[in-house]
Amino acid sequence: MAIVASCGRVGESRLNPLNWGSRSTNADAMLSEGTRADPRPLIGQIDTLTASPTQGGAILRATGIAATQGYFVGDLVAVPTDDPRVLAFEFRAFPPLEPKPVSTPRSREVTVARFLTSRELTGVNELRVSAAQNARAVRR
């Protein structure tokens, strides 16, 4: 029987999926190039981004502010990156079918979430979500 000692706890390591930061930071947008298969436009801007640990992975949740009221069927669409340590997404939603008022930012909020498995998060230390006007990231 072998006993192995370490200087840190698993709870403090990057291997622990529960270490995703609770606060997001501004980040550079990583928009996909070329023809997009997804016809939905990018949401106007990302207001909040969180990664909540859960059994088997994490839930990535983003709240965006649309240009007007009435945006629907929002989603976090995965986009390729050159950095294997970063998972990048675009926040896309369909605009209203008929003109809608702009009103207050709160009335234009759209919230979406995506479950990421522990396998998807292996080796990843940043989750980044891009919108038309900004991008936000959470890191561990």
Q: Could you write out the DSSP letters of every residue in 1-34?
A: ------SS-GGGSTT-GGG--SS-EE-------S
**What is the Cα 21 distance to its own chain's centre?**
12
Q: For each of the chain's 140 residues, which pLDDT tens digit applies?
A: 444 444 444 454 444 555 555 556 676 555 555 335 899 999 999 999 999 999 999 999 999 999 999 999 999 999 999 999 999 999 999 999 999 999 999 999 999 999 999 999 999 999 999 999 999 999 98
How are beta strands 72-79 and 86-94 bridged, if at all?
antiparallel
Q: Which pLDDT belongs to residue 123?
A: 96
Q: What's the half-sphere exposure (Cβ side, CA atoms, 13 Å) at 128?
A: 22
- Other Cβ atoms closer than 10 A to 118: 13
Burial of 7 (0-12, 13-18, 19+ CB in 10 A): exposed
Q: Which pLDDT belongs to residue 37?
A: 81
pTM: 0.76
Q: Which pLDDT belongs to residue 71?
A: 96
> Where do the domains of the chain lie?
10-139
Q: Which pLDDT belongs to residue 128?
A: 98
Q: Which pLDDT belongs to residue 34?
A: 39
Alpha-carbon distances, residue 57 vs 69, 84, 125, 132 (angstroms):
32, 17, 13, 28
Q: Give the C-alpha separation, 76 to 78, whole Å.
A: 6
Structure tokens at 69: 């009221």
Adjacency order of strands within the sheet including 109-117? 45-54, 57-65, 109-117
